Structure formats: structure tokens, C-alpha cells
Amino acid sequence: MTTTAAPPSKVDPKSVNRAVKSLLTWWSAKSKSQNSEPLENEGFVYLIVTLKKIPQMDRTNPVMIHVPHPLIDLVEDSPELCLIIDDRHKNRITKEAALKKIEAEKIPISTVIKVSKLKSDLRKLEEEKGFELYFAERRLMSILPKLLGKEFVKKKKSPIAINLRQGNWKDQIEKACESALFFVGTGTCSVVKVGKLSMGRKEIAENVMAAINGIAESIPGKWRNVKLFHLKLLESSALPVYQSAQVMELESSSYT
């Protein structure tokens, strides 16, 4: 049996390692400063993706990019995960049935919210628990942006669609938790969580490379449509790790 080799990356791993090292040095200095509380495990490493053209892709659900070191450890982290179910029709999965299935099959969902109670329950539960990920029945995806509001979307907490009628709930949820989630926006820029500050430098760099290559292979035009990749922390500067040849040519010509 033969396997197809992955396409070569256009990003130099050394550039990624240097950027990760610089960000971790910056974070270490900031966390030790007198006026700053240590970020510890709560900090994330973000990959900023800048494309040349807006891709015609599904915007309601993310592209799931497999990374070698999951951002959510379902065993050690015991994350707060929320499932939104559709209770508007008679032919539906009830909250009671969903909770029973979750308990019986050890599905890593901590809270179930009915869509009819979303506006009244979600804000309170979000403040109490700070859910790491939201999941929702696939048929709810078209109405959720209006129900959740712009602020919710800005916080990068858009729910991930799962099929509750078919397929394995647990497999679908575990796949999302083990992936870097690339939400395609309405513009050319997107932000993707690719690592945690609790990881080692090598682990973060490996995740970054996997996310970069996975994103480039998932978009129409592939690498031809990639303009820039940057890495940053929440409050740090963005460090470039890749720019297309066309961008470099434009920058060179501006100095001549």
C-alpha cells in the first residue's frame, strides 16, 4: 500500500521557531513584570491568516486542521463544552434525551441549552462557566448568528455544527477539540488559535506548521491565494512567518 506524501511547505520551520521563541520571551517578561499578573495556562498563540482573495467557502462551520498537540485536552483539562439543541419542533431530540445519551456514552459535553431558552440562559451560563467551545445542531446554524449577536461572534465563539441525527456525537466533538479551527470570514483576514502558552516551544512550533500547511491546502487556490502568515499573542505585536513572493516584490519596488 502506497501513501501520498504531503505537499512541501512554503514556510521555513526556522522562521516559525524564531517567532515562537520571541513571543515566549516577550510573554515571560510581561508575566514577571510588576504590574502584570502571570498568564499561565490561559494564554493562546494565534495565527493570523491573510489571503489575496476572499475564498468562496462555508462560513457557518470551521475547517478543522489536525494539529499534533490538541488545544483542548479532554482528559486533563475537563473543559466546559456547551451543546445547543433544537426544541422548536415535535420531531426533536429533547434536552432530557440528550443528557441521558451524553452520560451513557461519556460524551464530553458539560451543558445542554435549548434554542428556545438561548437568550435567557446563555449569558448567565457563559459568565458562570466560560465555555471553551459551543456545538449546535446543524439545522440551527442559519439562525444562531442573529440569536447570539455580534459580540458573541467577535469573541470567536461561533458554535460548531454537529449532526445529532446521524454519526457519533463523541467522535465529532473530539475531532473539533483536537483541531485548530479555521473560520473563514467575510474579509481576507482570519485568526486561528494554534497553541497554548502552557505548551513547550517545540510543541507550539509543530502546531503552527501543521496549521499553516493545513490552511494553505484547504483554501481555493491553495498557496497561490496565501498572502501572509503572522504569529501573535493576545497583546503582542504580530510577527511575520511567511509572505508571498508577490508581496516581497511589491515591498522591494517601493524602496527603489
158: DSSP letter? P
Judge whether residue 250 has pLDDT over 50.
no
DSSP lists the bridge partners of residue 85 as 114
Q: Say yes or no: 102 and 149 in one domain.
A: yes
Q: CB of 226 within 8 A of CB of 216?
A: yes
The domain that contains 202 carries what CATH number?
A: 3.30.190.20
The predicted-structure confidence for 183-215, as pLDDT tens digits, reads as follows 988 889 999 999 999 999 999 999 999 999 999
Number of domains in the chain: 2
Average pLDDT of the chain to the nearest whole number? 86
Q: Would 149 be classed as within a structural domain? A: yes
Q: Say yes or no: 161 and 107 in one domain.
A: yes
Q: Say yes or no: 88 and 162 in one domain.
A: yes
Q: Say yes or no: 65 and 184 in one domain.
A: yes
One-letter identity of residue 41: N
Helices (H) and strands (E) in the chain, counts: 8, 10
The pLDDT of residue 1 is: 43
Pairing between β-strand 179-182 and β-strand 63-66 as defined by DSSP bridges: antiparallel
The domain that contains 111 carries what CATH number?
A: 3.40.50.790
> What is the model's pTM?
0.85
Judge whether residue 146 has pLDDT over 70.
yes
Please give the residue range of the domain that contains residue 92: 81-176
One-letter identity of residue 95: K
DSSP lists the bridge partners of residue 50 as 189, 228
3-state class (DSSP) for residue 37? coil
Q: CB of 201 within 8 A of CB of 231?
A: no
